[in-house]
Structure 1
């Protein structure tokens, strides 16, 4: 035999029915010992996505499908405006778990911080903007969405500037400091033909979404009461915070953390309250609460006669939970408004015993989920699930809460028929 016609090692193995996988097993692998992988392990490609058939029995919880991230070049570019704690601790790291978005620009009034963060995330120097030259962002085609992470009073200005530059807007909650400013933001984005979304992360969080689905399904009968508590402390050592300035924050604990109770009660029921009663308190002589409240307790009555009891305060240790009372079950939800650690326990009856069932859901990063939803709306032309109108409605209700606390009387609100009147209900589960 001519040496040039001699088959190489790989050809010999392939002729024997042994593929590349057997080669990886080492020289001792033989056709008799190697078993090729089955379809249940290999999976298949459908519409550009890898899928696997079920590999466990029906008694086990199925594993979620593999993630399907977009290629980097197809992801929606975001500009992050404001590099404070939330942006640096939560939002920018969340892009690592995003499937459809990427950070492409930064805006800050601190040059040292701006360029340090840009280096960390690979942001081009020419995509780093100060507040003064923010309007140059219109000339950056990579930026499709501006994510506003600034003190509340600055949301309107940068929303209007972003809309004028032709960029879609995702703004942190509360969307501004008043319903009037919120409506101006809606109008500016509508006029410019860009999308506006409010970052209500709880509405994208799996445990709160499951609670909403269970309540609306009627599986456990009517929802009688929603209880929401959101408390945390603020420093007493004299460090001045913008959250203590009414002109910048709009309000105190209600605007900052009580809004989660208010918005989630509306989200879970789908309804709008027809009556609000509230009381508030601020410790006398405490400079932190000279302009904004420390504590607010408020009750919402809904058209279905569900009662929502909500409590928020800057004066109590961090505590964020919900309890839902239904006709045939109660739901305890620990850490409901936290960034992580949510739990959902359903208490009911099992024959002649009381059952306590804890649901365990696949965790998702709340910030990545809302960022990807906004990116998907840009890619598909869809309407955000939590549009600007949702934020404006919360401002109207917070204004009613303050009015009730001021006068000591309930505030009646116009009855609104239907569900999800201010949000887009068609949120696809990722």
Structure 2
């Protein structure tokens, strides 16, 4: 968890934003806590966990004390911690709403892992709670804070690829532990879709900078596999956009690991493969000038998230991926499940316009 030598040095701790990490699972341990060590504008000030001994071990590695470790029952004690300005909720999906609302009541700024909740109504309540409390809510869509994704988006939005004709995306991996919380409907809200399929859904919306007008989906939930007694194993779907553009997406919890995004235009093509990994993202742009693979300086996806939200806290500006961006994805996911259940296309009440649910504070990213 040492600082990477080619990353900028952080600000003094007195100017950085202190975060409490709520939940020390695999993502927090392997990605978030190390990322905070590379952050320029943020640091971990406290940990909230159900395993106090584990929390103390991480606290020691972060040069924190045992007093900086809290149980979930002690969560409200963070209210008196002036150095804890924000919380990062990294819990099973069904617990997001509870802890976002509890954090908002304490006046803490909130960064919440995706998906924001387990339904559109759930997510809307979270947004309302933060608005009522006068605190910021950011949905942790790490992909929108990476230069590779912006390279694809810019190629689309600038017209470099010509008129966009179609998009396709796949995100699949094997979830082989039947006891995993992600396979429990009351904790996850669904299966592959809200976990890994959401990357395809959100990225297509981000690249197109607009909302889908309709969706059509087919779901598979094998009854002879103990892993999928409660949630879907895979979902295939289409999303229709303005101008007749259709995005075709697939996600699976029982297929060889693949993460891919492809955008086909009249004059060019953009390919990300791998597209959704934590490291090693690769972009290929092909247009009338030939093929190009942009390269970018070293960075940490989660460090970019920490820093963006910290900057918004200091400036008071709305994050690029606020709670409303999380709600928008839940609206589409709810429609996808409805389509899969009924076998019918579901039309969405879509307003025209670009980036309807994103903030004005765009992320600062390394240039290629």
- Other structure's SS at 1:304 match: helix
For residues 103 and 428 of structure 1, the distance between their equivalents in structure 2, rounded to whole angstroms, comes to 21
1:248 paired with 2:172, answer: no
Aligned-residue offset at 1:170: 0.2
Q: Which runs of 5+ in 1 are unaligned?
A: 1-64
Determine the C-alpha separation between the residues in 2 that align with 1:363 and 1:400.
Answer: 38
Equivalence for 2:116:
175
Of 190, 209, 224, the match for 2:150:
209
Please identify the structure whose Cα radius of gyration is greater: 1
Change (3 A) 1:304 1:371: farther
- Structure 2 residue 202 is matched with structure 1 residue 263: yes
- Relative to structure 1, the CA distance from residue 347 to residue 414 in structure 2 (aligned partners, 3 Å threshold; closer, same or farther) is same
Q: How does 1:23-422 map to 2 (within 5 A)?
A: 67=8, 69-235=10-176, 239-349=178-288, 355-422=290-357
Alpha-carbon distance, 1:273 to partner: 0.5
**Shift >6 Å, 4+ stretches:** none
Is the 8 Å Cα contact of residues 206 and 364 (structure 1) preserved in structure 2? Answer: no
Of residues 296-305 and 78-87 in structure 1, the stretch that sits farther from structure 2 once superposed is 296-305
Q: How far has the Cα of 1:223 moved from its partner? A: 1.4
SS of the equivalent of 1:114 reads helix
Q: SS of the counterpart of 1:370?
A: helix
1:6-48 Cα shifts (integer Å, max 9, x gaps): xxxxxxxxxxxxxxxxxxxxxxxxxxxxxxxxxxxxxxxxxxx
SS of the residue aligned with 1:262? helix
Give, in angstroms, the shift of residue 386 of structure 1. Answer: 0.4
Structure 1 range deviating more: 321-330 or 339-348: 339-348
What's the offset of the Cα at 1:348? 3.4
Pick 1 or 2: higher relative contact order, CA cutoff 8 A, min separation 6: 2
- The 2-side partners of 1:197 and 1:404 are apart by 29
Alignment RMSD, CA only? 1.4
SS across alignment from 1:73: coil
**Post-superposition CA distance 1:226-259 (Å, at most 9, x none):** 11110000115xx511111101000000010000
Asked if the contact 2:7–2:38 (Cα under 8 Å) also holds between the matched residues in 1, the reply is: no
CA–CA distance in structure 1, aligned partners of residues 360 and 298 of structure 2: 22
Contact 1:206 1:363 in 2 (8 A): no
The residue that corresponds to 2:3 in the other structure is: none
Matched length: 360
Structure 2 unaligned spans of 5+: 1-5
Q: Distance in 2 between matches of 1:70 and 1:348?
A: 41
CA 66–139 in structure 1, closer or farther in 2 if over 3 Å, else same: closer
Tell me, in whole angstroms, the C-alpha distance in 2 between the residues paired with 1:77 and 1:96: 12
218-227 vs 364-373, which moves further: 218-227
